[in-house]
Chain A
Amino acid sequence: MKVLVCIKQVPDLESRFKPNAEGLWFNETDLAWRMNEYDEYAVEQAVRLREQLGEGAELTVLSIGPDRVVEAIKKALAMGADKAVHVQDPAVAGKDPWQVASIIAAYAKGEGFDIIFTGLQSQDRGSAQVGVSVAEQLGYACSTTLVGFEYDSGTIIAKRELEGGLKGVVKLKTPALVTCQLGLNVPRYPTLPNIMKAKKKEIAQIAVADLLVEEPVAATVSFHAPARKGGGIVLEGALEDLVDRLMGILNEKTAVLR
């Protein structure tokens, strides 16, 4: 059985973001990189499935981007993926979700994956489109926002996280694609033997030009910091002073202290 998990390397969200020279995405200087948090859950679930399936199963991890994404790929290999595919594309940040999905679908088409895992969305762009788009392009059954996953003989029982703590239970038949929500599992911390083994695992390199056929369908016109909303008061200074001023404001603007 063949399983695929798609991951994205994103900047650490604690970073301060500044628009790049073109003003269309963030400047990459001084950013720390990590695997997209949603994808960590996807990788963990994929590895657990692979462990459940045992002999004869194979888990591939795929990522698109410049050379630095190999770090994220290595982490997925250290968590337990068997092999990797790195689609080399230094300009992936400029592609829209439809194009990104098409690259993945072009790779996956001939490979016959039974189950594909992705994260629900990426932490930087957050469009939550790529996973479902890949499923549509491949004609796979698909469900999103998984906080529960069970597999048995071609059938997936998935729990979706809905609003207000409610969950929806869905049954899917493979081939299927699922997108993973935070809290689906507890991603394992790679053990050292696995980190060392990962160094020997195959990372196939594919040039994006070999896979990309789709034109962009949406353009980013501008990437900018939000305009400071007028009307919001910012209080700074010594502690007691701040308490005084806030008390004054609360008394003036609300009835909570009466």
Chain B
Amino acid sequence: MHDLLQRLQRRAEQRLPALTRYRRPESLPIELHRRRIYILPTGFGLGFSVLLLVMLVGALNYSNNAALLLTCLLGAASAASMLVAFRSLDGLRLDHVRAGHAIAGEAMELVLAFHSRRPRSAIRLDLADGTAAFALDGREAIEVKLHLPTHRRGWQPLPRLRLWSTWPLGLFRAWSWLHPDQAVLVWPRPEAAGPAPQAMVDDARHMRLHRGEELAALRDYRAGDPQRHIAWKASARHDDLLVKDFEQPRSQPQWRLDWRRLHGMDDEARIARLARWLNEAQSQRCSYSLWLPGNDIGSGSGPLHYARCMDALAGLP
């Protein structure tokens, strides 16, 4: 049944290009307007219209004009709610989409920033199997968080999003498609287990100083130096303040991760192994460098460095 419906849907989209006009990827920002907002009654709306019909026939049959007036009022209010549903989407703008980090197979957090000039309520955004509901106050932009499932590493284009609302009474559903022309980068999934990186660079060079508490030199005060590092006694003999300069700790070993040393493996396996090593290096707070074909990333540490290395791995052909 589900497949049949999907087939019919695809068929309809081929036959009626008007339906798919706004489903091609577009560049951001996307502002919704009347040509791309669709409205249909919901199941409840259909049921409600049957109820209205029953009330109408009853009122007419008993020639009860007060009841007829009530029915007309309810019917007119329902019809008016359709326009309200349309207005809740019309003029809404998707400004930008920000993607988080995720490794293949895990959900990636997307942050979509919406903006509107007037307050709106109960707008819902469908992505894959998730739905997020949000309201806008008409002044500030709002950020909606959604999770995008990922399957494999590399650039993954954003899927089509459905923005919909049944505001105010749930009788009509207004919806529109958003297909931002943007892709997100999915990091490779590290292998589960494997050998440790063999090639460590000789550590002695980096163990020159330890703990970082040895005084290396005195230098001039620069704005922002902590007060307790000021060498008060030495400063007293000079015109300017002097600051004790400490050697930075270099206790961790440095790893040099190299694509070329992983012989006899296919590309994906190499990537998975490198990803695992990157993870280990990051968790051990090592300093590491990475060599990839066409990309040589120098030694470094910290989350930014890690992200840069993972991006490079993910972006490999």
Same complex: no
